[in-house]
Every structure is written in C-alpha cells, then in structure tokens.
Structure 1
Amino acid sequence: MAAGTEGGTQLQQLLETSARSSPEKTAIRTDGGDVSYSELCALVGRVAGALTGSGVDKMDRVAWLLPNLIEAVACSFACYSVGAVSVPINVRYSSEEAAYMVNKVQAKVLFLQADKLDVLRKLSCPVQVVVLGAARGQHRSWEEFLQTKARACFQPVSAQHPALILFTSGSTGHPKGVLHSHGTCWAAIDTSARSFRLGSDDVVLVGKAICHAGGLQTQLLPTLLVGGEVVLTMVPPPAKAVDLIQNFGVTVYAMLASFLLDFVEHLETTRQEVPSLKKVIGSGDCVPLPLQARFHKLFGWPVLEGCGITEIGGYFALQPIGKEKPGSIGIPTPGTEVRLVDEEGKDVAVGLPGEVLLKTPSAALGYWDDPEASSLLFRDGWLRTGDVAREDEDGFLWFVGRRKLIIVRRGSNIAPAAVERALATHPEVQSSVVVGVSDALDGQVPVAWILAKNPSCPPTSTSLAEHMSKRLASFELPVLYLFLDAMPLNSVGKFDRAELQRAAQDKRDILLHAKRAGA
C-alpha cells in the first residue's frame, strides 16, 4: 500500500496491519492465482497511485462494475487509501440501471470489463474509463492505468469521512446509494469478524458478490482483518464450491439461503465429504426449518442464520455459535441495540411483532444525494429497517416479514416500481402491478398483473418477456404475466396490491400443481 498510513483510519490501516504480521501468507486465492498479503498491498499501492495520477482526490467517487476479482478488491482498498469513495455496482444490473448509478454519484473513474462497454452509451456524466480486458478507442486498459504515476497518494481522513456507497433498491424503484463512512465500514467489518469468531487460521470461501455488503463487509474484509485466507471467485455452483472447500481446506462458507438449498441437495446426492468446513451461514432470506434439519443431518452441527441490511453494512442479528435456536435469526450482534415498535413508534411487548429499529456504530450516514429518503431512515436517532420481527423470552429475534414492497429473489432486491416502469414502455400495456409470490427455490419471485390497452387482444407473454429482457436484469424479470380487465382498488383508491399478491400466489400455485401432475 502507499507508504505510511500513520494517522489514517482503522479502515485505511486494515490491510497493512495484517500484511505486517504475515507478509508472505496467502491473502486471496483466485481463479487467476494466489496473492500474498505483501503482493496485495503492493497492488493496492499501485492502484492508489494511479488514481491520484488520474486526478482523483478526497470525496471523488470511483465506481467499479466488476465481478469478484482481485482488481475489484484493489480498487476498494485504494479508494480508502486516497480518501475517495468506492462505489461497487452489481454486474447483474442492466446497462441502463448501471448507468443510472454511475450518473447518480457523478463518478470520476469507472472500472469495468470489456463486455460491459454498452453502459457507456447511457452515461450523462464525464468519466474516465478503465477497461479490464481489451481496451477500445480512448479508454485505458487496466495495464495502462497502472502505469499512471503520482508522487504521493495516501491521504489520512477522519472516521466520519465517506468511504463507500452501496446501492440498494428502494420502494420508489430507483436504486438508493447507501453512504457509509470509514468508521461505519470498520464497525461492520469488525462486528462480522467477532460474531463469526474468525481467526488467522480460517479459510473463508466468499459465497456472495463483493459489490454487496454481504460479500464485501461480512466475508472478504473481516477475513483480511484477522489475517485469514480468502478464496475468491464468482458465487460458485455447488460442485465448484465443494472442489474449492476440499482443495483449500475452507473452514467458513456463507451464502444466500437459496444457494444453501442447492449446496445441501448437491451433498445429499453426491455424498462428498467436506471435513474442513466448521461454520456455514445462511442469510438473505429465511432458512426453512426443513432445510436446516437436512443440513444438520449432513454435518452434525447447525447452520447459522442471520439478518442484515445494507444500511448497516452487515448483520444486526446472528445465531450465537453454540447456543442456536433453529428458525430464529439469532440475537443482536455485538454493539447493536434493537427495538421493536408499533406503527406509533411505541415498544411492543415480548412475543408481539414490531418494526425493527437499530442503534449501531455501523449505521449508514444516509442516502447519497437524497435528503428526503435520508430523513426518513431514522426515527429519534434509531435506524428504521422496514423489517418486522418478534422477540422471545430469551432475547432471540424471529423474522416476520418486510414492511416494504421489495421482492427478495435469491438475496437480490427487486423494486416492483422499477419493473412496472419497464412494463409501461411496452406499446400494448396500459398499466401494471408487480407483486412477489413465495417460491421454494428463490424465496420470492415477481409476478406481473397487466392491464392491456386493448383488453380483447392483450400482448403475449412472449412479447412481454422479450421486451423486458432488454431493460432489466434477469433476476428482475417476472416469472408470470397475468391479465385483468380492471385493477382492483383499495379503500383509499390505490391499486390493491395485497389482493393482487394473494391472487397471484393462488394462480401460480395452481399452475405449479398442474405442471407437477402432468409430469
């Protein structure tokens, strides 16, 4: 890393501190080879210097539209080093969605792979582009970027200085940029390391995308904090995950609940052994009790379950190791205070459901360039999650549901309004309502109710699917298109989403039952 990080934040010193202890130890294993702590520090230093040489200064935003690659890790650390703000963007987003995020933060530099260059056509802000892979035209390649020189790059900042913007879908359909400081990032990372009892002998297989808090701040960075070893690849299918666990002696593996199902089914079928594995965490959605029982039968110990949100950069509740309660999301993480309140903001009694409010040192500063949404995020100093839970007599939390309209499909958030806006651009669609229905594999999936401009001749599902596939990420696409002559209204004259959700669930259940019966 850049010479001398004295006086910087704990986040700025994180990597160098571990490197001083074990410089030659493997920090990250990737598909492209292994990188030691000293080598990672050197790469981060080069990237930090190149950022400075490219004119990046404190508070400038640096976006990276990259999968789980060592270059993405280096970009993130380099931003922290020079006081810039790191902006990860999910490669699963459509070009239009990714461009919205780059424009929203007015990024000064954008890192992306060559297959994502179509994003550039939709940008309205001036941005320097660095391409991993074959560069085109005026854009620099990664190798050319690293040749950029600067005299100095490390810039000490305070713990309150902005460090990271993580985009998350909101009920309005426009992705919101959750702004975290050096201090709040550090708190989330430290909390995860302590909650999972990570040590320098742990080998952690990253089971989530590092453009999200789950991959970056609860897996990758906590492991590097304690001097452990990271196995980094794109979210692996079960067969590859087993190979990685066996080859590298992985001890900890965290993944979304839906991927946990795939993992368990693979092990049940193949009967492969993974003796090095000591902890497995399922999150992103509830882990069904039958799945937990199947996991326990395989391993002889329980899967850990937790619940977190982007606005605190990690978990607010986790199963305590050795004192688990299957079905619950655990107890508040270290340093986290939890309140459950009713609609009026009054604390509910034990056993009754209430909205989860949080006080934690990892709470976000707010939303980037969105003062209205930022003001609604907090209530009397408590962060509002929009999640509903109940607490039992032992202090364990049990997830009830989400107050928000967000559909969570395999851990990815889908805003119904975003899907509805895309549907509105179809020439034969008058209006639409998108709701989430439960799904055994994905947790939730979107179903679209359509009011056609010509009800006697509505658009086909095929034409709708083709239209939507050009405008949304694959995980956002509705699994079913249903048609109405008129949308039902609730008592205040709005579309009755609750009724439409119930009807969509019934129709999909009938279709799935018929499909199974005909199989």
Structure 2
Amino acid sequence: MDERLTRLQGLLDNAVCSAPEKIALRIGSSCTNYQQLDQMIGQVAAGFLDENINRGDRIAWLLPNCLEAVLVTLACYRIGAIAVPLNYRYVSQEIQDVLMRVGASLIVYDAARSADVQHLLNALPMVLAVEVRGDNGTRFNQWLEGEAQAEKVPVKENEPALILFTSGSTGHPKGVVHSQEGVYEAIDQSRSLFDFNSEDIVLVGKPISHAGGLQTQMLPALLAGGEVILEMKPTPAEAVQLINAHQVTEYGLLASDLLDFVEYLESTSSELPSLINAIGSGDAVPTDLHRRFRDCLGWEVMEGAGMTEVGCYYAANPRNGTRKWGSLGIAAPGMRLDIVRSDGSPCDSGEHGEIVLQAESATIGYWNDSVATQELFRNEWLHTGDLAYRDDDGYIWFVGRKKLMIIRRGSNIAPAEVEAIIDEHPLVHASVVVAVSNPCDGQIPVACVALLSHQEEDTEQTLRFYVEQHLAGYKNPVHYLFLEVLPRTSTGKFDRHALAELAGSQFVSTE
C-alpha cells in the first residue's frame, strides 16, 4: 500500500476551505472556528515533532472533554502518530498499565490529574509528560504560541492511528487498534447514519476518550462542517439549557442517561423546539421509554448498537424512515451484517444467533494480542458476541450478550429480555438482571432494581406477580435486590460485573 495523505488527515479540509470562520467547537464560553482549529492542530503537531515524537509513536492523553483533547488527537493523525485516549476516571495503576502496554512516548494530562501521573513517572522514565490547563502547562502553551505548523505526513491507509481501550467491565481491557482508513470510515459512516450537514449543531455529552463520543458524534459533525458543543457529561437540566441556548439539532446519549433525560423532561415540561434527533445506545431502550420520549417531544428516539472494535454503530434505526421500538434497527451504512448459528451457518428469520459483520471501519486487531484478534475474526467475519434475531422486515432484535447469557438447568435466559419486562412496570426506574451461581440450577437470575420512589412492603411481590404474567417460569428472577442507584461503569453503562458480585454476596447458594 502506497504512502500518501489520507482522508483522515484531510478531515477538516472542506470546512476550512469553505467556511473558515464558522464555529467548529463551542466549549463553555469559548468558541473556536475551523481556521483556528486547523492552525492549532498544526502547532501542536509541530510541538510533537520538536519533542522527537514521530510517525508510529504512541501519544496517550488523560483529559476530560476539552479543546486540548481534540488538538492532541487530530495532531496525531496529521503526523502519523497513534492517539491513545485514556479513560479520565482511570486510577494511577490503570494509567501506568496502559502506558506500559502500548510503549507510550508521551502523555498529555490534565492538571487535575497531576498527582496520579507524577506518581507513576518514576517507573516510566522514557515517557514525556506534558500538563495542560494548569500552572505547569507552559510547554503545551508554547506549542500553541509557536509560529511553525507541521505539514501532514504521508502514511499508509492501514497504519495504526488510534488505540481505544475497552471498558473492561467483563475482563482486562484490550487495546483496540484502528487504522487511518478505519478511523475515517467510522467517522464517515456515522456522518451518513445521522445525516449530519453543515447546519447541524451537535451536543456531545459522551467522553471523547471513547468511540461513542469521538467517532459517532464529534468528528462526524466536524467532517460535515457542523458545530459541536463539547461537554463532559451534562445533567439533564444542563443539557436542556444548552440545547435551547444554542439551538442544538442532535444529541446522543447512553440508554441509561436517556432515562434520566426523559424523566427530567416529564417533571419540568421542557420544550426543545430545535432538537430534531437523538439516539439511545449502550443498553437496550425499553419500549416504555420510547413511548415516554415520544410523548415528551412528539417524535421517536433512534436506537442503535455499536462496539469499540467497529468504531461506530453497526446497526441503528434509520434517521429518516421507519423506527421499530425495541429493535436495533437495520445495518448501519457501510456494514454487512449477518446472524449465524454456532457452526457459522446463517440463521433463518426469527431464529436466534450471533451478530457477525464485515466493515471497513473494523479494527485491525488488538494491540500485541494475536490470540484475542484471531478469536474476534473467524472466516473474515468479526464476531460481536451480541445475540439477536432478524425479523421479516430485516430489523434486528437484540437478545443479549453471549458472555452474559444465564444458563439455568440447561435453559438460556437473556438478561435483556427479563429487564425489558421489569422496566415496563410503573414502579421501576431501571433494572439489571445478573447470574448468580447455584448448586442445583447452575445459575439463577437475580434482578437488581432501582425504583422510582421508596419501596413499599409488597413491592417485591408486586414485581414478581407482574413478571410471572409475561415470562416463562424459568426466566423469572429468583431474587430481587433493591438499590437506590444502580452503579455504572466508567463509560456510563450499568456495571453488570459489580452488580453480579454484589448479588452473589447477597444470595450465596440459598436456593
């Protein structure tokens, strides 16, 4: 493959040429236009080169959603370095683990995390640490004050450009490697999925250290020449204020955050006249929540599914077209999807199997982990681990995660199916169903439930009766664990691993 300037390196070119003074990023009270953004990217890239950071080197960053995080990422792409965003909630040991595993040459970090970073640098003497947004941010500021701007460095399309670490909720996080070509394809596919254009104003409230914020929201909007309002994680009240103050047209949320957002809209009767699209992802959006969203805003929320290994959504309800509540929708742009049996043969309509896919945006593998890479790809298909079925109209219905299936006396129970029923009950805020080991049944389902109000004495019996009317007996939760708040992972999803441990400690072999 020849070396050349890639499409990823030219991500902003159209907007810079056609509308240089148009606002690209709005962060708090600060605005940056496309010309300024492009100039600052070149200055940071020149700073990297001055520090002897070159093509193929790994540049980690530990930053909240901020201008510096955007500049570092796009400066890496410009010179062929590899961006390694770190989850901002990582503790010192997790930061050190990632830096060592990828052999990072540089870490750019927020001043608020100085103690954690400085603590580990003695063990990593070869890593250059650059602070931003604090008293010790001189070096980064000097890069932005420099007159030089780095030219784009020709690279191969299949060269690594980005390493995203999985959340690790079900095991040790893996470094998911995406190429220059793959990163661009994920961004462009997301732009097409959401039909972004230069008139769109997109509120990004997901961390851009993850694919959801970076690849499906912020960069697709910039590719289209739109305006991005970059926040870390606004509360529902803050999101409503931002949407109305800046005439936001699109807002993407995790399904768990969508629930909080809708509850706020219901309690305040807020109107959002500029908002014309939203998507819930990460977990299934219950049918009742779809209905409540429509009642609040008069139109239907999108639902979709993606994964770090794909870099974007692989399926979603269409932006313009029929949306089926509770389904993942249809294959996203650029995706070839199938649902297969355990032997790899295609499933019939309505038959449960695993979602497999082929896409230009797919990862080129896990960083220094050939075994896991081989397990991910089989017969040139990427195996998602998501179980689903396809209806006669081609819409995909999520059943559960392959690794999360509960096997009770040889019968499979999909947590998502049970959760969908429990979440329909008017007393329930949210639920997560987990497996607990049992000597008689092998595994039993336990429902972890957060209620909308204080638990009454007969709440558990009420829920039991309700679920029994909707599900086969073997699928009914054996125990209910009521919590004020369901814990979440660092990516904002409900923390199934933590809940399984808690349920296991509460209900040890009692049945």
For Structure 1 versus Structure 2, the TM-score category normalised by the shorter chain is 0.7 to 0.9
- Is contact 1:95-1:116 (8 Å) kept? no
- Is contact 1:134-1:141 (8 Å) kept? no
Residue 32 of structure 2, aligned match among 35, 38, 49: 35
Residue 178 of structure 2 corresponds to residue 176 of structure 1: no
Question: Alpha-carbon deviations, 1:427-449, whole Å to 9, x = none?
Answer: xxxxxx9x99555589xxxxxxx
2:101 aligned partner? 104
Q: What is the total number of aligned residue pairs between the two structures?
A: 436
1:158 aligned partner? 156
Alpha-carbon separation, structure 1, partners of 2:264 and 2:333: 34
Amino acid at match of 1:59: G
Residue 69 of structure 2, aligned match among 65, 68, 72: 72
Amino acid at match of 2:403: K
Q: How does 1:30-429 map to 2 (within 5 A)?
A: 30-117=27-114, 118-122=116-120, 124-125=123-124, 126-135=126-135, 141-146=139-144, 152-170=150-168, 173-320=171-318, 321-405=320-404
SS across alignment from 1:47: helix
SS across alignment from 2:188: helix
Once the two structures are TM-superposed, the CA of residue 145 in structure 1 deviates from its matched residue by: 4.6
Question: Structure 2: 5+ residue runs without aligned partners?
Answer: 406-414, 417-433, 435-442, 453-489
Question: Structure 1: 5+ residue runs without aligned partners?
Answer: 1-5, 409-415, 417-432, 443-470, 489-499, 504-519
The verdict on how the C-alpha distance between 1:383 and 1:439 changes in structure 2, with shifts beyond 3 A counting, is farther
Alpha-carbon separation, structure 2, partners of 1:264 and 1:152: 45
- Is contact 2:272-2:297 (8 Å) kept? no
Question: Alpha-carbon deviations, 1:143-192, whole Å to 9, x = none?
Answer: 14545786854211121111100000458722101000011111111111
The verdict on how the C-alpha distance between 1:473 and 1:36 changes in structure 2, with shifts beyond 3 A counting, is closer
Alpha-carbon separation, structure 2, partners of 1:171 and 1:92: 14
Alpha-carbon separation, structure 2, partners of 1:57 and 1:275: 47
SS across alignment from 1:14: coil
Amino acid at match of 2:96: A
- Is contact 1:64-1:72 (8 Å) kept? yes
Alpha-carbon separation, structure 2, partners of 1:482 and 1:282: 27
Once the two structures are TM-superposed, the CA of residue 478 in structure 1 deviates from its matched residue by: 3.7
Alpha-carbon separation, structure 2, partners of 1:40 and 1:358: 35
Which shows bigger deviation, 9-18 or 301-310? 9-18
- Is contact 1:110-1:129 (8 Å) kept? yes
Amino acid at match of 1:368: W
- Is contact 1:168-1:176 (8 Å) kept? yes
The verdict on how the C-alpha distance between 1:158 and 1:140 changes in structure 2, with shifts beyond 3 A counting, is same
| Percent identity (aligned) | 45
The verdict on how the C-alpha distance between 1:275 and 1:441 changes in structure 2, with shifts beyond 3 A counting, is farther
Once the two structures are TM-superposed, the CA of residue 484 in structure 1 deviates from its matched residue by: 6.4
Alpha-carbon separation, structure 1, partners of 2:265 and 2:249: 16
The verdict on how the C-alpha distance between 1:266 and 1:183 changes in structure 2, with shifts beyond 3 A counting, is same
The verdict on how the C-alpha distance between 1:180 and 1:474 changes in structure 2, with shifts beyond 3 A counting, is closer
Amino acid at match of 1:199: N
Alpha-carbon separation, structure 1, partners of 2:266 and 2:29: 30
Amino acid at match of 1:130: V
Once the two structures are TM-superposed, the CA of residue 300 in structure 1 deviates from its matched residue by: 1.2
- Is contact 1:336-1:358 (8 Å) kept? yes
1:21 aligned partner? 18
The verdict on how the C-alpha distance between 1:129 and 1:148 changes in structure 2, with shifts beyond 3 A counting, is farther
Once the two structures are TM-superposed, the CA of residue 289 in structure 1 deviates from its matched residue by: 0.5
SS across alignment from 1:57: coil
Which shows bigger deviation, 308-317 or 97-106? 97-106
- Is contact 1:53-1:149 (8 Å) kept? no
Alpha-carbon separation, structure 1, partners of 2:170 and 2:347: 28
Once the two structures are TM-superposed, the CA of residue 223 in structure 1 deviates from its matched residue by: 0.4
SS across alignment from 1:340: strand
- Is contact 2:251-2:277 (8 Å) kept? yes
Once the two structures are TM-superposed, the CA of residue 15 in structure 1 deviates from its matched residue by: 1.2
Once the two structures are TM-superposed, the CA of residue 129 in structure 1 deviates from its matched residue by: 0.6
The verdict on how the C-alpha distance between 1:174 and 1:201 changes in structure 2, with shifts beyond 3 A counting, is same
- Is contact 1:341-1:348 (8 Å) kept? yes
Amino acid at match of 1:352: E
Once the two structures are TM-superposed, the CA of residue 474 in structure 1 deviates from its matched residue by: 12
Alpha-carbon separation, structure 2, partners of 1:122 and 1:401: 39
